[in-house]
Amino acid sequence: MSGHSNWSEWVYIGVVVALLAWVGAEAWNIERLVEHVPEDAKVIKVTGQQWFWTFEHEDGTKETGELHVKKGVPYKLEITAKDVIHSFNIPEYLVLMDAVPGRINTVWFLPVDEGEFPIQCREYCGLIHYNMRGTLYVEDGA
Amino acid sequence: MWRMGLDGKTFDNFPSYENENGESDMVLELQKPRPIWQIMFSTHHTDIGLLYIISSLAFLFMGGVLALVIRVEMFSPGPQFIADSMTYNRIFTVHGTNMIFLFILPFASGVGNYFVPIMVRYKDMAYPKLNAIAFWMIPPAAALIWLGFADFGWYAQPPYSAISAPGPAAEMWIFGLKILGVSSILGAINFVVTILKCKHPDLPLSKVPLLAWSFLSSSLIVLVAIPTFAAALLMLLTDRLGVTGFFNPTMGGDPIAYSHLFWFTFHPEVYVLVIPAIGMMYEIIPRFSRKPIFSHSSGMFAFILLSIVSFASWAHHMYATGMSFTEKTVFMVGTLAAVPASAMHVFNFLATMWGGRAKYSTPMMWSIGGIALFFSAGAGGVVNTAMPLDFITHDSYWVVGHFHLFVFGTIAFGSFGFLYYMFPFITGRMYNELWGKVHFVLIFIGAVLVFFTQHILGLYGMPRRVFDYPEIPEWIAMNQIQAVGAVLLGVGMTIFLVNLIYSSAKGKEANMEDPFGLGGKYYYPYQAKNPHHD
Amino acid sequence: MRNIIGLFMVLSILVILPTVQIVFAAGDEAGEYIDRRVEIWNLFFRMMTVAFVVGAVVSGTLIWLIWRFRESNPKATPTKYEGTGELDR
C-alpha cells in the first residue's frame, strides 16, 4: 500500500487536516467557555418523568410544567429523571442535557431576555414524548 | 509483463462462464424462468447474490412507503390520518430498522456475493452453504421485525426499551436483530476468507479491485463491532425479562452503558454501510470516464484507515448524556480523524474524472450525485461533532437530515447507480435509459427538498421522533416542503420499480461486450454464468 | 485573483477575531457572564461559512469537471488509455 507520490493529493490532505484542526480547536475553546459554571449560579433541580417536567428552586419552591427565573441571574440546572431517559431542552437558550435516571447531569445558563420560552423533551420517551412540553418564564428581577 | 487474464490464458484454472457459442449465459431470464426451488436451494454465489438483491429491493419499497406515510402525516400540526402517537412511533421505528438492516446491508451483501468471487477470480464464495444459510436467516428476522412493529426507535434505548416499551413487539425486534447480526457475521467471514484466501494465486492483493477491497474493509469492521451489539441485545432481553438490571438504575445498572455498547457497534457500522457504496462508485466512475482510477493505492489505504479510525468516535452520539469535557474532546478528535480518509475518496473520484472523456449514462449520474451529497453529509457531520454545536443539533431534525444524506444521498445513490450498471450483466437486457435519468432527477430534487430542509428545521429546534408539533409557522412551512419532496421521491421510486420489472422481462437485449458504449469490454473477461442454468 | 484575496481576508478574520476574544475576554465575575447562545451560534455561523466555502470549491470543481470532460465537448479527446486494452483490466 504505497504510491502516494502525487503532490496535489498531499496538498489537499494538508488543507483538510488544517481545517479539521481549526474546527477542533474552536470547538474545544467554546465548549470550555460554555461549560464553566459561575460560582454564584443558583441551583434548580429539574426532574423529567413520563411525560412532564418538575422543578425545585433553592428555596424549596416547586413548579410543574413551568419554570420562573429572573433575568440576569445565572442558573445551574441539575437534571435527572424518574423513569426513562428524557432530555431537557430550552431551544431558544440552547439548553440541552439528557435527564437520565440514576444520575444528575448539570448545565448552566443565563436568562438574558424577558419573555416566555418553550421547553421540550429531546429524547424519545414513549407515547407522549412529542408533547412533553413546558414553559420558561423569564421575569425582570428586582 | 503480467496481465490480468485478458487473453484468457493467464488464469488457466478459472472456470469459463461462456457457453459453447462463446456467448455468456445470463442468470436472470424472466421470460424463461428457472424453477423457483432451484434458486431457493442454490448455493451458487450468483443466485444468493440475486436473492439478497431482490429481497433488499422489496424491503426498500416497503420501508419507503412507511417514510411517505411519515412525511404526509407530518404535513401540518394535528393528526392527518394516523390517529395516535403509538402507531406513528412504531412506523418510524420499523422504517429505520428496515432500511438499515433489510435494505442497505443485504443489498451490499448481494452485490458482494455476486461480484467478489468474479473479482478475485474464484469459482464461488469460500463457504457456499454457509452463504446460503446467512441469506435465509433474513426472511425470518424480517418477519419478526415487521410483524412485531416495535416502537422504541432503531436504537432501542433503555430504560424505555427495557421497562416501558410494549411487548411482544420489543422481544420480537430483539430476536430479529440477533438473527440479522449472526447473518452479518457469517457473511463477513465469507468475504474475508474469499478475498484473502481464495483469490487467484497470480492476483496480488494490491491489484484486487476497489469494490472487493470495500467488502474486505467493511467485513473486518463487522467482525469486530457486531459481537458487542449481540451482547447488548442479550442484556436488554434479560433486563426486559426482569432477570437482570444491567441498564436499570433501580437495580444498580446504568442506561448509559447500553449507549456505549450500542454506539461502539453502530458508529463503525455506519461505515460498513457507506464503504461498499463508495466501492460501487469506484467501479462506475473510472469506467464511465474512460480512465483508470487516479490512485488505486489511495483508495485501498483510505478504506483500511477508515475501518480502523471508525472505532474511535462512537460517543459523539452521546454528547448530551452528561459526559465530561475530556471525554467529549477525545471523541471529537476521533471523529475528525476519520474525515481525511473520506476526503481521500472524494479527491480520488474528482481526480479520476479530470482528463477523462465522460459519458453521463444513468450509473454515472447516480455516482456523481452521490459524491456531491456525500460531501454535504460529511460537512454537516463535522458541524455536529463540534461539541458546543451539539447543543443546537442533538436529537433534532438536523441529525435526521444529516444521516439521510448519507444513507440515501450516498448509499442509496451509489446502490441505484450500481444496480443500473449491473442490470445488463444480470439480465442480458438494457433498462430504459431515459426513465433511468428521470428517476435520477426526481430523486435528486426530492432528496434536496427533504434532507436539506431537515437541517434547517433542526436549527429551528424541532425534535425528532415526534408525532406532532406546535403551530410554529416556520416548522409548518418546512414540514410541508418536505412532504412535497417526499412525494417526488415516491414518484421517482415508482418509475424505478416499473423500469426494473419491465426491462427485466421485455427490455432490449444488451450488447454484452459493451452495453454502455464506452469502448473496451463491459466487465471482467469472464461473464457470470450459473452452472445450473441451461 | 482579487476574489481569492478577498476570500483569504474573510477566512483570516474568522480565525483572528475569536483568538483576540480569548486573549481579552471578560471573566466570570458577578454581572459579567457569557451568553451561551451568542457563543454557540457564533461558532456555528463561522463553521457554516467555512463549510460553504469548501463546498463551493468542491462542487464548483465537480461541475467544471462534468462540463469540461463530457464526451460531447468539442475539445474532448480520447484518453491515453482508450484502445490500449488497459481499461479492460
* Predicted confidence (pLDDT) per residue in B189-205, tens digit: 999 999 999 988 888 89
Q: What band does B514 get if pLDDT is binned at 50, 70 and 90?
A: confident
Residue A56: Cβ-neighbour burial (10 angstroms; 0-12, 13-18, 19+) = middle
User: All 3 cell numbers of residue B192?
Assistant: 474475508
C41 contacts in chain B (CB < 8 Å): 392
User: All 3 cell numbers of residue A132?
Assistant: 412533553
| A20, A85: one domain | no
Looking at residue B200, its pLDDT comes to 87
Host H or E run for residue C75: none
Q: Which of B506, B424, B497 is nearest to B30 (CA)?
A: B506
Q: Which of residues 75-104 of A touch C (CB under 8 A)?
A: 92-95
> In whole angstroms, how far apart are CA C76 and each of A64, A74, B256, B522, C65?
71, 66, 58, 22, 12
**Nearest CB to B357 within list C39, C51, C78:** C78
Q: Is there a contact between B385 and A91 if contact means CB atoms under 8 Å apart?
A: no
- ∠ at Cα A38 (A36, A44), nearest 5°? 105
Cis, peptide link before residue B168, omega less than 30° from 0: yes
Pairing state of beta strands A66-70 and A134-139?
parallel
Question: Stretch B340-357: mean pLDDT, rounded?
Answer: 95
| A68, A121: one domain | yes
Looking at residue B142, its pLDDT comes to 98
Distance CA C89, CA C71 (A): 22
Q: What band does B29 get if pLDDT is binned at 50, 70 and 90?
A: low
Domain residues of chain C, as ranges? 34-71
Distance CA B50, CA B450 (A): 31
| A69, A13: one domain | no
DSSP B396: B
Q: Are A99 and A79 in contact (CB under 8 A)?
A: yes
3-state class (DSSP) for residue B112? helix
Question: Stretch A30-51: mean pLDDT, rounded?
Answer: 94
State pLDDT tens for residues B349-390. 999 999 999 999 999 999 999 999 999 999 999 999 999 999
The packing angle between helices B362-385 and B413-427, to 10°, is 150
Q: Is there a contact between B463 and A120 if contact means CB atoms under 8 Å apart?
A: yes
User: All 3 cell numbers of residue A63?
Assistant: 413548579
| A55, A121: one domain | yes
Task: Inform me whether the C-beta atom of residue B78 falls under 8 Å from chain C C-beta atoms.
Answer: no
User: How many CA within 13 A on the CB side of residue B388?
Assistant: 28
B524 contacts in chain C (CB < 8 Å): 89
Of the listed ranges B181-190, B256-265, B324-333, C21-30, the one predicted with least confidence: C21-30
Q: Which CATH architecture has domain B45-506?
A: Up-down Bundle (1.20)
Distance CA B165, CA B171 (A): 10
Q: Which of B505, B452, B109 is nearest to B280 (CA)?
A: B109
Question: Stretch A2-13: mean pLDDT, rounded?
Answer: 76
Query: Position B417: which residue type?
Result: G
Q: What are phi and psi of B502, to 5 degrees?
A: -65, -45
State pLDDT tens for residues B153-162. 999 999 999 9
Domain tally, chain A: 2
**Nearest CB to C47 within list A23, A33, A36:** A23
| A55, A24: one domain | no
Q: Mean pLDDT highest for which of B206-210, B484-488, C21-25? A: B484-488
Distance CA C78, CA C83 (A): 9
Task: Inform me whether the C-beta atom of residue A6 falls under 8 Å from chain B C-beta atoms.
Answer: yes
| A26, A66: one domain | no
Long-range contacts of A15-24 (CB under 8 A, 24+ apart): A16/B339, A16/B340, A16/B343, A17/B340, A19/C50, A19/C54, A20/B336, A20/B339, A20/B340, A20/B382, A22/C15, A22/C50, A23/B336, A23/B382, A23/B385, A23/B386, A23/C47, A23/C50, A24/B332, A24/B333, A24/B336, A24/B386
Q: Are C30 and A41 in contact (CB under 8 A)?
A: no
Q: Which of residues 47-76 of C touch A (CB under 8 A)?
A: 47, 50, 54
Looking at residue B148, its pLDDT comes to 95
Spell B250-281 as b/e; 16+ CB within 10 A means b: eeebbbbebbbbbbbbbbbbbbbbbbbbbbbb
| A106, A126: one domain | yes
Looking at residue B8, its pLDDT comes to 38
Distance CA C36, CA A31 (A): 10
Looking at residue C6, its pLDDT comes to 73
- Taking the whole predicted model, whether its pTM rises above 0.80 is answered as yes
Domain residues of chain B, as ranges? 45-506
Q: Which of A99, A104, A94 is nearest to A33 (CA)?
A: A94
Percent of chain B with pLDDT over 90: 81
pLDDT for residue B22 is more than 70: no
Q: Is there a contact between C44 and B355 if contact means CB atoms under 8 Å apart?
A: no
Q: Is there a contact between B391 and C62 if contact means CB atoms under 8 Å apart?
A: no
| A6, A53: one domain | no
User: All 3 cell numbers of residue B150?
Assistant: 416495535
Question: Stretch B307-333: mean pLDDT, rounded?
Answer: 96
Min CA distance, A142 vs chain B (Å)? 30
| A89, A68: one domain | yes
CA terminus-to-terminus distance, chain B:
37
| A100, A134: one domain | yes
Q: Which of B328, B158, B388, B463 is nearest to A100 (CA)?
A: B158
Range of the domain at A28: 1-36
Q: Is there a contact between C34 and A29 if contact means CB atoms under 8 Å apart?
A: no
What's the sign of the alpha-carbon dihedral B313, B316, B321, B324? positive
Looking at residue B533, its pLDDT comes to 37
CA B507 to chain CA centroid, nearest Å: 27
Residue of B nearest to A92 (CA): B461
- Mutating which of B206, B288, B349, B357 best tests the C interface, going by the most C Cβ atoms within 10 A? B357
| A123, A75: one domain | yes
| A46, A29: one domain | no
pLDDT for residue A122 is more than 50: yes
Distance CA A81, CA B322 (A): 13
User: All 3 cell numbers of residue B144?
Assistant: 419478526
